[in-house]
Structure formats: C-alpha cells, structure tokens
Amino acid sequence: MTWRLEIALQTPAHSALGDLLSYASAEPLAAGTLVRVPLGRREVMGVVWAAEAAAPDPQAEKVALREVAGALDALPPLNAAWRDLVSFAARYYQRSLGEVALAALPPQLRDLSAVQLARRLKRQDTAGAQPPVADQSAPTPSAEQAQALARVAAEPGPFLLFGSTGSGKTEVYLRAVASLLERDPQAQALVMVPEINLTPQLEARFAQRFGAGAVVSLHSGMTNPQRLASWLAAHLGTARIVLGTRMAVFASMPRLSLIVVDEEHDPSYKQQEGARYSARDLAVWRGRREGAKVLLGSATPSLESWQQSRPPSEGDAGGRYARLEMPSRIRDPDNGGAEAALPGVRLVDMNLQPPKTVLSAALMDAIGQRIARGEQSMVFLNRRGYAPVLACGDCGWKSECPHCSAYRVFHKIDRSLRCHHCGFAERVPRACPSCGNLDIAPIGRGTERLEEHLAELFEPVRRPDGSPVRIARIDADSTRKQGALEQQLAAVHAGEVDILVGTQMIAKGHDFRRITLVAALNPDGALFSSDFRAPERLFSLLMQAAGRAGRDAAYLAAQGSTAQMWIQTHHPQHPLFAALAEHDYPAFAAQELDERRAAGMPPFAFQALLRADARTQDVAQAFLQAAAESAQALQEAAQVSCYPAVPLAIQRVANVERAQMLVESGSRAALQRFLAGTLPTLHALRQAPVGKGVIRWLVDVDPQAI
Ligand code: ADP
Ligand code: ZN
Ligand code: ZN
C-alpha cells in the first residue's frame, strides 16, 4: 500500500507552489515526522503535515508523486500543538506554512542524515527529564511577590505582571517555575527575554536556582551545534527550562506548562524579516492552545497588554489578562528594610542653556559629585558613531549616502563615513568632494563624540585618590568583537569606570550596583516622531534607564543620598516628562490611551502594512495602489481602510525605493480575511504590467514601526 503525505517544505516565500506538497511513501509516517524529500534536483528537509492512503488507482493522480527519500524517524514527531502553532503563525502573519515550520527548526537539522541524527541523539542525554536542583539561597518572597505568585497558582491567566524596576519580577518568574517543576516531574517552562545580551545573566540566575542541567538557551548568538543541542534537549523533554529570545517561542516543548515573557513591551519581540511574528503575541496564543500559563512582565507594559489587562468597570467586562501589581522595589534586609527609592527625576530646560551646550553645568556638577564619592554615572544618547553628518561650510556638501536617502555617519575612530542602512563605507575625504574646501566639519553628536567631549570636560577633575576620571563607552561599535560586551560590562561592575557612555544597549536590564546617576541627553526626537508609538518607546526606555540607578539601597541609605535621573530637553513641560518624574506609568498609559482611542489607533484598531520595494518610488506606490483597488472587491473591504501609499521614513536604501500602505480595521478578523484575500491579488499583480519593476513585497501584520 502506498501513502500520500502532505509535506511542509521551505518553498520560496509566497511561492505559487502553495503551502504543502504531496509525496508518496511506503510507510504511513506520522504527522510531525521530519523527512528528506526531493525538490527539483535538490533534496530538502520537510515536515509531514498529514498522511492518507493514496488513491488505489495511480492513474487518478494527475502527476506521479515523488517518493520521500528518507525519514528522520529516530526523532519523536513534532506534536500537534507545535504544528498548530506553526499553522496559526503562518496564517496570521500571511506566510507559507513550510517557511514558518522550517525557520522554527535549528538550521543544523537540515544538514543531518538519518544516520547522523541517530548518532547525534545517542550522544544527547536522553535519560529523561532532569530533576531540577532546588537552591534555598532563594530569598523569602515579599508580600507583593507572594500575592502575585498566589494568583498565578490559582488563576488561569494570562497574567500581566506590572512591577517596577527592582520590584523582584525575576524572582517571581523563578518561583513560578519552581512550583511548576515541583508539582509535575516532567513539566517544562519557557522563559523569554528580548535581548541576547540579557540571556547570560538570566541563565546564570536560573542555573544557580535549578542546576545547570535543567536549563538550556536558544538564541541567534549560538553556534549551530549549540542550537541543535538545546533544541533537542527541549524537544526530548530533558531540558526543563528553555531560556531564549523571540525565536524560542517556536521551541518544540512537549510538556510546556508555563511561558514567561520578560519585558513584554520590548520591540525586539517582533521579528523584522520573513514571517514578521510577535513572539509575545504567539506566546499568549500558544499558552491558550497548550493549556500553559502565560506570565508577561514589565515595568512599562505595552499599551496593548495594559489595555488587555484593564479591570472591569461599568459597561466594560475588563480585559482578558489578569493584572498583577508590584509597585514597590525590594526592601533590603541588610538595611533595616529600606526600600531603594526610584531615582528623583530632574529636567534641564535646554532653552535656558547657552547655545551649543552638550552637558549643562548643573548636570556636570552632579556627575562631579558622584565622582568625588566614588559612585558611577551613566550618560546615554541614542545615536552611535561620532557625528551623524559631515558637512562643508562653504558649499553645503553633506555626507549623503549615494545609495540611500540618509546621511552617512562619521566614525572618527577609523576615519570612515558609514551608512547605517546599507553599510556603504568610505574613508573620510581630506577635502570637500564638491568644492575642495579643507575645512569639512561634523554636525551633531553621537556616542563616540560624546565620549570625547566628556573626556575634555572632566580632564581637570580628579578622583578621590587623585587619579584621572575613567570614561567608557558601550554601544554596537564598541562591542563588535566577540566577548567585548562581557568584558566592558565586567569593568563597569568592577568599579573601573566612573562615567559610562552608551546607547540604549546600556539602559536595559543590567543590574549595575554602583550607578547612582543616569542622564538622557537628547530624547526630544521621539516626542514629535511620525511614528505614533515613539512616545511609548521613549517612556519605557527612560523608565528602564532610570531603573539602572540606585539599585543598592543599603549604600544610598548609608550615604544619606538618593539616585538621580537627569533629562536634558527643550520641552520640559511635555506631559510625558511629568508622568516620568512621578514614575507614574498608569498616568502615562491613560493619557496615551485617550489619544489612541480618539484617533482610532491600536489597541483600539488593528493594523497591517503592505510594503513594496522597487527601483522607483512611483512603481512601488502604483503596485500598492493597484492592490488596494482590486481588494475593494473583497467582502471585508467595507470594514477595512487602506490609506494612500507613501514612502517609508527612509525612502531609499541600497538604491531601492520603498513604499508602504497602511491597512487598518476595527476588527481583527475582518483585517485577517482582507489580508488573506489580498494575497492572491498581490501574487497576480506581481506578474501583471503594474508589477514590473517591483523587487519584492511583503505584509507586516501588527507592525511595530509605522
Ligand atoms: P526586577 O526583575 O523586577 O527588576 P529583580 O528580580 O532583578 O527585579 O530583583 C531586584 C533585586 O532584588 C535582585 O538583586 C534580587 O535578587 C533581589 N530580590 C528579589 N526578590 C527578593 C526578595 N524577596 N528578598 C530579597 N531580595 C530580593
Ligand atoms: Zn564644499
Ligand atoms: Zn546607504
């Protein structure tokens, strides 16, 4: 008897081949089995999605089916819950099933033969689930922690843990995982963090609590063999806890019982290429499908999650999430129970400063006081490089990128002009390329130039022991080499740095004990951005940055001092800063939600972006416009608004013109049906005259940047 298998393969995105291809097999392979099959002249890996007995008369098949080349059947099949997650993600984000399925598997799996895999599995510890090693260095939960944990144990969730920085959210995650693992000897927990560079410290905390054998990591910074080993441990159930970045949401975990999403508001949970999924949103979906509890945590939740966790009120049943609040920072038992106060916020009105002021005198003085006391300060500026533009004062030449609608950034360290969009780099010209003027000068300031400026400012200042002030910089440039970030962070922790300069990289997550002052130098751009989420991002970034200061309550109490967050701004009256000064996220959220409600924007509406790239802006826009016009025939069109096609904020990158069209609806379901109905149109238009010159198109559902 022959079996007909429907197999998910990584066909090119949006290919006309459809989602599943049929193959013949002598064995009725179970759904979820990994197989190798011929595709064209290649042999590729696929996942069996369905098997049925083939039609008895082979003539009934229009085309003779090709045979499956082999099954990786040493591996247990991917279960139905995993396949459902993949199907849902593919459908929701408008991609092919095979693309999502294959991208969710470790790359090395594709290269292994059945024999190699069997050998690999033998080496893998298949001794069954690792019993976690309990650690009781575990602190006694605070009252707020205990209350949050009691609700997690008693209610179904999903939960939004709204806890200020330093309130002990991580401890809640650890305990929620611990009680789960104790209850069920095979249960597994998935813990997600937004950034790779936050995984090592979290991994250390989990490994200390549960033993290294119980925990594996999954993120893109790992080598392929490491990723395969982690994936197998999760799939076989030997790893009780999987820690990872957004990709980990697709980890195969047969006994998944708890999903934690730390810093759930972080934009890096949204994948920005291929299937543009939100790992946070998929986590919630997956939790419901698998009956796993979902715990989202943040000091500044996304407005979507905040709204979804609103308590019931008159005429409103409330959101679907249970909100758990931990407003207090952990009290320090070594310090008679003092609570580390959140830093006091000081706004410097830059309108009152002398022109061209970089660091106001008051801020410089405050940093000087920190140095005198042997404390650390952190100054952050969200722009790397030396200066964003190099310009000629005579003829007006500027360091534009020849391939993008953007300036190339001046990096002084290697005297290069580098485009941060297409990567095009050149040595800085000696003279103005346009008029020959020798005096070309940087305009504006990045972290590299700020570091240099601070070095000049603090050159005359001495540390208590008479030695010079030590300044360090951490950003994407300074940490390019493997291990550089760890080294630089270690130097900060060891107290070898007095002033740390950096981008938002240093604002997130790190538990710096000696930093008592944080300063944001130029955050104003986000106040007036065309992206409606910019204020939300800025608020959470500044709250996170503030959370880096004054983490050592005992020290501050002994000094009789408090931590400070400084903000230099031209708009000190902006309501965002008023809420920030009070550390009042709910006030900020209420204000933003009112605006969003009035404007009909998310979370009160649902959005998608259609994007087209082409050689000219006209071609890209015409393509989108044509798609929108044909889509008007769809039944859902009445419930969906298509805005006119517009260029992206950075319109041209690497000589490609980019256009987008915002599609919006008050109904998520209507938007979904509309997009699904538009997809065939887009495929067809691509082949039509209007699609000539279109390089690619894509759909971004629930886009995070407009
Ligand atoms: P968050 O994740 O909310 O920023 P953490 O979980 O990192 O906070 O906790 C902040 C600090 O407080 C950490 O050093 C942690 O070890 C400590 N901590 C957490 N919970 C307790 C507790 N119940 N008792 C004593 N210390 C605690
Ligand atoms: Zn010139
Ligand atoms: Zn460029």
State how far the Cα of 105 lies from the Cα of 88, in Å rounded to an integer. Answer: 16
Please provide the average confidence, as pLDDT, over all residues in the chain: 91
The two three-digit tokens of residue 257, written as one number = 């019982």
- What is the 329 CA–ligand 1 centroid distance (Å)? 8
State how far the Cα of 413 lies from the Cα of 329, in Å rounded to an integer. Answer: 41
> What pLDDT sits at residue 318?
92
User: Omega into 156 within 30° of 0, i.e. cis?
Assistant: no
Low-confidence ranges of the chain (pLDDT < 70): 12-18, 54-63, 125-135, 332-340
> What pLDDT sits at residue 661?
97
Reported as a single tens digit per residue, the pLDDT across 609-666 is 999 999 999 999 999 999 999 999 999 999 999 999 999 989 999 999 999 999 999 9
Q: Which regions of 164-211 does DSSP assign to beta strands (E)?
A: 188-192
| Ion ligand 2, residue ranges at CB < 5 A | 392, 394-395, 397, 432, 434-435, 437
Which residue in 105, 267, 253 sits closest to 188, CA to CA? Answer: 253
Q: Which helix (H) or strand (E) holds 174?
A: helix 169-183
Helix, strand or coil for residue 20?
Answer: strand
Q: How far is CA 167 from the centre of its chain?
A: 22
The answer to whether the CB of 71 falls within 8 A of the CB of 82 is: no
Please provide the DSSP assignment of 247-279 as one string: GGGG---TTEEEEEETTTT-GGGB--SSS--BH
Q: Which helix (H) or strand (E) holds 561?
A: none
User: Angle at CA 103, nearest 5°, toward 102 and 109?
Assistant: 60
Q: How far is CA 430 from the centre of its chain?
A: 40
The answer to whether the CB of 215 falls within 8 A of the CB of 195 is: no
> What pLDDT sits at residue 126?
54
Same fold flag, 143-326 and 335-384+447-596:
yes
Minimum-distance ligand 1 atom for the alpha carbon of 170: 6
Which residue in 295, 289, 325, 321 sits closest to 308, CA to CA? Answer: 321
Helix, strand or coil for residue 569?
Answer: strand
The answer to whether the CB of 36 falls within 8 A of the CB of 43 is: yes
- Quickly name the fold that domain 335-384+447-596 has: Rossmann fold (3.40.50)
Q: How far is CA 600 from the centre of its chain?
A: 25
State how far the Cα of 620 lies from the Cα of 614, in Å rounded to an integer. Answer: 5
- What is the 398 CA–ligand 3 centroid distance (Å)? 14
The DSSP output letter for 435 is: T
Reported as a single tens digit per residue, the pLDDT across 487-546 is 999 999 999 999 999 998 888 777 788 899 999 998 998 888 888 999 999 999 999 899
- CB atoms < 10 A from the CB of 310, how many? 16
State how far the Cα of 242 lies from the Cα of 239, in Å rounded to an integer. Answer: 7
- Which residues are CB-neighbours of 695 under 8 A, at least 6 positions away? 613, 614, 615, 656
Which residue in 139, 174, 152 sits closest to 324, CA to CA? Answer: 152
Minimum-distance ligand 1 atom for the alpha carbon of 326: 3
User: Which whole-number Å values give the CA distances from 177 to 99, 169, 171, 173, 210, in the listed order?
Assistant: 32, 12, 10, 6, 10
- What is the 393 CA–ligand 2 centroid distance (Å)? 7
Query: Crossing angle of helices 617-631/668-687, nearest 10°?
Result: 120
Residue 520 phi, psi (nearest 5): -105, 120
CATH superfamily, region 143-326: P-loop containing nucleotide triphosphate hydrolases (3.40.50.300)
- What is the 456 CA–ligand 2 centroid distance (Å)? 29
Minimum-distance ligand 1 atom for the alpha carbon of 167: 3
The two three-digit tokens of residue 627, written as one number = 């798609």
Reported as a single tens digit per residue, the pLDDT across 255-276 is 999 999 999 999 999 999 989 9
- What is the 655 CA–ligand 3 centroid distance (Å)? 8
- What is the 617 CA–ligand 2 centroid distance (Å)? 29
Which residue's alpha carbon is at the smallest distance from atom 24 of ligand 1?
Answer: 139
**Domain residue limits, the chain:** 3-105, 143-326, 335-384+447-596, 389-443, 606-701
Minimum-distance ligand 1 atom for the alpha carbon of 142: 23
- What is the 621 CA–ligand 3 centroid distance (Å)? 21
> What pLDDT sits at residue 58?
53
- What is the 386 CA–ligand 2 centroid distance (Å)? 20
Strand partners, 566: 346, 519
State how far the Cα of 563 lies from the Cα of 157, in Å rounded to an integer. Answer: 36
Which residue's alpha carbon is at the smallest distance from atom 25 of ligand 1?
Answer: 139
State how far the Cα of 570 lies from the Cα of 525, in Å rounded to an integer. Answer: 10
Which residue's alpha carbon is at the smallest distance from atom 13 of ligand 1?
Answer: 168
The answer to whether the CB of 375 falls within 8 A of the CB of 624 is: no
State how far the Cα of 511 lies from the Cα of 547, in Å rounded to an integer. Answer: 9
> What pLDDT sits at residue 270?
97
The answer to whether the CB of 168 falls within 8 A of the CB of 326 is: yes
The two three-digit tokens of residue 555, written as one number = 């020290």
The CATH code that applies to domain 606-701 is 3.30.70.600
Best residue among 171, 263, 552 to mutate for probing ligand 1's pocket (most ligand atoms within 8 Å of CB) is 171
State how far the Cα of 113 lies from the Cα of 115, in Å rounded to an integer. Answer: 5
Ligand nearest to the CA of 418: 3
The answer to whether the CB of 572 falls within 8 A of the CB of 566 is: no
Minimum-distance ligand 1 atom for the alpha carbon of 333: 25
The two three-digit tokens of residue 487, written as one number = 């080294």
CATH superfamily, region 3-105: PriA, 3(prime) DNA-binding domain (3.40.1440.60)
Pocket of ligand 1 (CB under 6 A): 139-142, 145, 163, 165-171, 330
The two three-digit tokens of residue 152, written as one number = 């997690």
Strands of 3-9's sheet in order across: 20-25, 3-9, 42-53, 34-39, 70-71
> What pLDDT sits at residue 504?
85
> What pLDDT sits at residue 530?
84
Which residue's alpha carbon is at the smallest distance from atom 23 of ligand 1?
Answer: 141
> What pLDDT sits at residue 130?
60
User: Which whole-number Å values give the CA distances from 679 to 134, 510, 605, 610, 634, in the listed order?
Assistant: 51, 43, 21, 10, 12
- What is the 694 CA–ligand 1 centroid distance (Å)? 52
Minimum-distance ligand 1 atom for the alpha carbon of 172: 6
